[in-house]
Structure 1
Amino acid sequence: MKRVQNTRKPRWAWKDVGAPQASGGHSTLPLCFVPSCSGVMCTYGIVLDAGSSHTSMFIYKWPADKENDTGIVGQHSSCDVPGGGISSYADNPSGAGQSLVGCLDQALQDVPKERHASTPLYLGATAGMRLLNLTNPEASTSVLTAVTHTLTQYPFDFRGARILSGQEEGVFGWVTANYLLENFIKYGWVGRWFRPRKGTLGAMDLGGASTQITFETTSPAEDRASEVHLRLYGQHYRVYTHSFLCYGRDQVLQRLLASALQTHSFHPCWPRGFSTHVLLGDVYQSPCTMAQRPQTFNSSASVSLSGSSDPHLCQDLVSGLFSFSSCPFSRCSFNGVFQPPVAGNFIAFSAFFYTVDFLQTSMGLPVATLQQLEAAAVNVCNQTWAQLQARVPGQPAQLADYCAGAMFVQQLLSRGYGFDEGAFGGVIFQKKAADTAVGWALGYMLNLTNLIPADPPGLRKGTNFSSWVVLLLLFASALLAALVLLLRQVHSAKLPSTI
């Protein structure tokens, strides 16, 4: 992977060598310490996360006198751009740029005017634009040109709009999570930075068009294209990462819909009592459904499709998304992709979090184990449309798709990535850490603004807990001995002199 372009010399040593204890769904992550600042006392940065289904804007801030000092960047505010992702404007590129105006206007208010010119502004596009670039490179270029035109109209320090690779998306998400949780470096009570001994956390991201898994590994990867080397705060990290295009939630739903049209006259993952008209052109326009596309079909035709609330048939449909027939390496995840065994604790965010949160919060189902997660998915898939609507008032737009989403998450984690019950106990489903959204955007900005140096800024080695206990006991013993000696001396001084 090529190093991200930057106007300043990068300080991360990113080398491409080829192309807390937790329980699933229940634990919350510890918050890191983010020094406060306000107004012109802060430095700001803006990242637009142009995903496949929507775009989000994140504004970050950090004390102005800490330009390159370590773990101090926090989220100041955010904004969700209305409408679809910028890739949905392939036929109307100017609309992609115009869609960003509302959030950019908010940024003008959220960032002090005195800081506008010095505030870096980035746009990173992910799997939706990767798909568009594969099928229609000209449209992809036009969309990026249009959003660039809009972004340059604002008084911020615009640093570029580009499409991230799947590998970058995975690694930047991993950096964000571990940075926020102070797994790279921590500010100690003795007034010095030190390196914690707790290790790093794996990261799993489920977007609209792709999913990423990234975690630190001790052994060289058999597929060197999946290995990335990082040097952060003077420490070397070997990281495994892989991005599966067409395995994001929205594209999975489209692929399942295409399979249901091919093999059934109903959709087993939709609730019984739910039906809708499906436009065939919408189903087969994605590159992800190309393999399921009939040789001849009327793209303008629509068919009526109803749900059947059949968890077993739905599970079979989801299983068809994964292939385990061949593996050119000693071990694979699925589709012949190399993956070492999952190790350590993980944080699962984006649609992973929203899916599990729905099962827990809206449905009131436990998901602390893989067995419970599977049971929860089956429970949702057994619900009729009337039952679901009664359980979840307000009828969310994607209520009918939660069965398929839950079944996919369960199978991706257990069969796809190879989590067993023990490993799943170390997975935390979380949206934020330290009041900051977990995702690739913060890691991307930290990289491009050199806020994580490759060299350690006056590090102190972290002392483990048992060592602190010994030191405190020794200190307490010495203090007690000194107090006893002092009392004895005072007592001796009060005794009458003898001849």
Structure 2
Amino acid sequence: VDSAVELPVLDNEMFHSIKPGLSAYADFPEMAGHTVRMLLKVAKKTVPRLEWKRTPVFLRATAGLRLLPTEKAHALLNEVQHVFVESPFLVTDNCVTIMNGTNEGNVCPPSALRGSTSFMGILDLGGGSTQITFLPRLRKTIETVPVTDYVARFDIFNTTFELYTYSYLGNGLMVARLATLGALGGEGLEWQVFKSPCLPKKFRDEWSFGGVTYQVSGDPEGYAGFKLCYEQVLKVVKGIIHQPYEIEDSNVFYAFSYYFDRAVEAGLIDGVQGGTLEVRDFKKRAKEVCNKMAKYPLNSPFLCMDLTYIACLLKDGFGFKESTVLQLTKKVNNVEASWALGATLEHFHNLKIH
């Protein structure tokens, strides 16, 4: 990696997001179309009218859609395609697709991943998948990846960059809940009650994800708490997540999405300003929440499980030291850190190729 290379900087952006994501409308694709129309309204206000016809629009669906049954995913994509065709923007071939994991990991340009004095990287935790991305300092990091899929190479301004980036489908927070509960795969899952020491003993309720509703509860006759919860969560992480060669020597990683949301819910950071934590802080708060679940309000029944999973993912998954600093924020160097910008880079790269 040549540290002397001048990296490109994003000049301007308009970022706007709407929750929930498209996968929440698996059975109501017309609602997904309404969501996209709302985003296109923002685009109309941002892009000058005279530029609409030459401004391409494209949608890259993420892990939430990759986990849906094929026919439901296609129904959602077809609805979005229809909305795009109705819009005044430029609609091209393959403008609505499901994105692969590498693109989802490319959350921002390399300029946002290089600080003046320290190594930096990006961690993203969605519902269906989790991503790690950083600009390696050591050649051995690239040479020791399990498969070439862990390395993304792209050209910007006649310079080739290599990112360590990978998206783990099935290790997002919501799917991790299912795996921890033992509710992945099989038939008739909606009729079973899935118990876990990660949930309050007296808790029992319905929980929905990916178009399926599950019966979940604590174990009133068994034990609960951090130790048992960690043992259960570890099975979801162990042997699945690759530990990059130089990860233990890293100084700062930016963490987004559910890392941010759960840190706010646990009272670790401010919900607007974000904050700085160490990896150990997630584990410490997970212990406090799990071992005192009876005292926590039942409107956060999954907080113990979620915090424990995050702590386990960081330490036993990626291999971070407990002292690794995490910057919980929405932006990096004033750039909204999302996979959307990585997808934009890939789009321009493909234009150059073709």
Normalised to the residue count of structure 1, the TM-score between the two structures is: 0.56
Q: Is the 8 A contact 1:258 1:283 kept in 2?
A: no
Aligned-pair distance for 1:204? Answer: 1.4
Q: How does 1:124-203 map to 2 (within 5 A)?
A: 124-132=60-68, 136-159=69-92, 160-170=95-105, 172-173=106-107, 175-176=108-109, 178-180=110-112, 183=114, 198=117, 201-203=120-122
Partner Cα distance (1:147, 1:265) in 2: 35
User: Does 2:284 match 1:375?
Assistant: yes
Structure 1 gap segments, 5+ residues each: 1-68, 184-195, 287-298, 324-333, 390-394, 455-499
Deviations 1:412-433 (A, max 9, x none): 11111111235x13x3222223
Matched to 2:308, the amino acid is: M
Deviations 1:122-170 (A, max 9, x none): 21101112222xxx33333332121110122111223411111111111
Larger deviation, residues 105-114 vs 138-147: 105-114
Q: 1:416 to 1:158 in 2, by over 3 A?
A: same
3-state SS of paired residue (1:251): helix
Partner Cα distance (2:288, 2:276) in 1: 12
Deviations 1:328-372 (A, max 9, x none): xxxxxx227574341533222121222233331379xx9844443
Aligned-pair distance for 1:278? Answer: 3.1
Matched to 2:170, the amino acid is: C
Partner Cα distance (1:368, 1:401) in 2: 21
Partner Cα distance (1:268, 1:97) in 2: 40
Residue 440 of structure 1 aligns with which residue?
A: 339
Partner Cα distance (2:286, 2:216) in 1: 25
User: Does 2:21 match 1:85?
Assistant: yes
User: Does 2:32 match 1:120?
Assistant: no
Q: Is the 8 A contact 2:32 2:79 kept in 1?
A: yes
User: Does 2:166 match 1:242?
Assistant: yes
User: Does 2:244 match 1:311?
Assistant: no
Q: 1:71 to 1:353 in 2, by over 3 A?
A: same
Aligned-pair distance for 1:314? Answer: 1.4
Residue 301 of structure 2 aligns with which residue?
A: 400
Aligned-pair distance for 1:276? Answer: 3.2
Residue 134 of structure 2 aligns with which residue?
A: 215
Q: Is the 8 A contact 1:208 1:248 kept in 2?
A: yes
Partner Cα distance (2:25, 2:194) in 1: 32
Aligned-pair distance for 1:379? Answer: 0.8
3-state SS of paired residue (2:91): strand
Q: 1:77 to 1:358 in 2, by over 3 A?
A: same
Partner Cα distance (1:105, 1:180) in 2: 28
User: Does 2:124 match 1:205?
Assistant: yes
Deviations 1:216-273 (A, max 9, x none): 3312235223222233344443322222111101111222233699x99743222355
Residue 429 of structure 1 aligns with which residue?
A: 328
3-state SS of paired residue (1:214): strand
Aligned-pair distance for 1:377? Answer: 0.9
Partner Cα distance (1:307, 1:367) in 2: 35
Identity %: 25
Deviations 1:303-342 (A, max 9, x none): 572477522221122112123xxxxxxxxxx227574341
Q: Is the 8 A contact 1:166 1:243 kept in 2?
A: yes
3-state SS of paired residue (2:217): strand
Partner Cα distance (2:216, 2:259) in 1: 30
Partner Cα distance (1:119, 1:283) in 2: 35
Partner Cα distance (1:284, 1:115) in 2: 38
**Which residue among 243, 247, 258 is the counterpart of 1:351?**
258
Matched to 2:288, the amino acid is: N
User: Does 2:240 match 1:335?
Assistant: yes
Aligned residues: 326
Q: How does 1:442-461 map to 2 (within 5 A)?
A: 442-449=341-348
Partner Cα distance (1:229, 1:211) in 2: 20
Q: What RMSD in Å do the two structures reach over aligned CA positions? A: 3.8
Higher RCO (CA 8 Å, separation ≥ 6 residues) = 1
Matched to 1:445, the amino acid is: T
Deviations 1:415-469 (A, max 9, x none): 11111235x13x3222223444211112222342469999xxxxxxxxxxxxxxx
3-state SS of paired residue (1:78): coil
Matched to 2:22, the amino acid is: I
Q: Is the 8 A contact 2:23 2:65 kept in 1?
A: yes
Partner Cα distance (2:227, 2:181) in 1: 16
Partner Cα distance (1:367, 1:404) in 2: 22
Q: 1:284 to 1:123 in 2, by over 3 A?
A: closer
**Which residue among 275, 278, 283 is the counterpart of 2:206?**
278
Partner Cα distance (1:428, 1:351) in 2: 13
Normalised to the residue count of structure 2, the TM-score between the two structures is: 0.77
Matched to 2:51, the amino acid is: R
Q: Is the 8 A contact 2:154 2:161 kept in 1?
A: yes
Residue 316 of structure 2 aligns with which residue?
A: 415
Matched to 2:104, the amino acid is: E
3-state SS of paired residue (2:87): coil
Partner Cα distance (1:105, 1:285) in 2: 28
**Which residue among 357, 361, 375 is the counterpart of 2:269?**
361
3-state SS of paired residue (2:53): coil
